[in-house]
Amino acid sequence: MAKSVIITCAVTGGIHTPTMSEHLPITPSEIATASIEAAEAGASVIHLHARDPETGKPDPRPETFMQFLPVIKQSTNAVVNISTGGGLGMTMDERLLAATTASPEMASLNMGSLNFGIFPMADKYDTWKHDWEKPFLDMTKDFIFPNTFATIEYALKELGEGHGTRFEFECYDLGHLYNLAYFVDKGMIKPPFFIQMVFGILGGVGADLDNLMHMHTIANKLFGEENYEWSVLAAGRHQMPFATQSAMLGGNLRVGLEDSLYIGPKQLAKSNADQVRKIRSIVENLGLSVATPDEARERLALKGGDMVKF
Ligand code: KMH
Ligand code: ZN
């Protein structure tokens, strides 16, 4: 029987800026509401960043996270996943602080350094809600998102060993699978681990179906398909087609306004839950079922929602 599909929803991220969509959750209350609605729509994992409530800028402060984490926990059974990618330009200590404070069941871990080019998005807008937005996008023309072996190892020890947090290993290119294999071979990452394959970020692998097939083939060779769960996200207009392809190939998927602000061609998504409902309907129309949070916990060997510090 086909496995159920774990839907992750990444509700706000640190890439899009407030000018781009009035529906992007910014304040703690908006982030909490978006997360709860996404969970009710069928997401079993909620991937979270925080934003400064006044400016909408990515915000690493644990105090900001703590304004929405308990609300989400009290209102849903969803697995809370805290980003360690943070916002472009944050230090590694800033990026880890919310997760080491909250000790979540899951956290993201970016598996290699890359050019992270979001500057082309700036060309689409003439006026901006906040002064920081355009320079933030423009600076990524000359920016490397740093995820070295030392910082990955540090996160595995601090968060993984220290807190029992398990990871969404974000792989933006083929080489990142080999970086992951290095840590698996060292015994620092143990099955069943969760690989999030990321397509369509400028600087990472492109959103071409051949790339998805190849990364899946190589992951199977490196890890053995019984040892890991895989999931797919793709940026922008590739989001829904790639999520669908993953479900068809036996994988899991991620949607959410972090990855795409749209629900259809030139149509902004009014909520994260709208994207979850859309992909859920596709998944169910394929004859597949959607995983509950407890099914996700079991398959990903998570420590449980009562073992977190929020
Ligand atoms: N915000 C970007 C730097 C993650 O959450 O781990 C990438 C990112 C990845 O958000
Ligand atoms: Zn993220």
pLDDT tens for 252-300 read 999 999 999 999 999 999 999 999 999 999 999 999 999 999 999 999 9
- Ligand 2 is a single-atom ion; what residues have CB below 5 A from it? 13, 83, 85
| Residue of 8, 9, 15 with the most ligand 1 atoms within 8 Å of its CB, for mutation | 15
Residues contacting 28, CB < 8 A, separation 6+? 50, 53, 64, 67, 68, 71
Expressed in angstroms and rounded, the spacing between residue 247 Cα and the centre of ligand 1 is 23
* CA of residue 232 to ligand 2 center, whole Å: 13
- Prediction pTM value: 0.98
The ligand 1 site (C-beta within 6 Å) comprises 13-15, 83-85, 87-88, 108, 110, 116, 145, 170
H-helix or E-strand spanning residue 293: helix 293-300
Output the CA 259–ligand 2 centroid distance in Å: 8
Tell me the CA–centroid distance for residue 48 and ligand 2, in Å.
7
Q: Where are the beta strands (DSSP E) in 178-223?
A: 193-199
- Gap from CA of 25 to ligand 1 centroid (Å): 16
Predicted confidence at residue 2, as pLDDT, reads 82
Q: Which ligand is nearest to the CA of 12?
A: 2
Instruction: Please state the atom number of ligand 1 nearest to the C-alpha of residue 116.
Output: 3
Q: Which atom of ligand 1 is nearest to the CA of 83?
A: 5
- Which parts of the chain have pLDDT scores under 70? none
Alpha helices in 4-161 (DSSP H): 28-41, 62-65, 69-75, 92-102, 133-138, 149-155
The residues, ordered by sequence, that sit 6+ positions from 44 with a Cβ below 8 Å of its Cβ are 6, 7, 8, 78, 79, 290, 291, 292, 293, 295, 296
- Nearest ligand 1 atom to the CA of 145 is 3
Q: Which atom of ligand 1 is nearest to the CA of 13?
A: 10
Closest listed ligand to the CA of 58: 1
* Stretch (H or E) spanning 248: helix 239-248
Asked if residues 268 and 262 have their Cβ atoms less than 8 Å apart, the reply is: yes
Q: Which ligand is nearest to the CA of 147?
A: 1
Question: How remote is the CA of residue 8 from the centroid of ligand 1, in Å?
Answer: 14
What separation in Å is there between the alpha carbon of 285 and the centre of ligand 1? 31
- The closest residue, in CA terms, to atom 9 on ligand 1 is 85
Minimum-distance ligand 1 atom for the alpha carbon of 14: 1
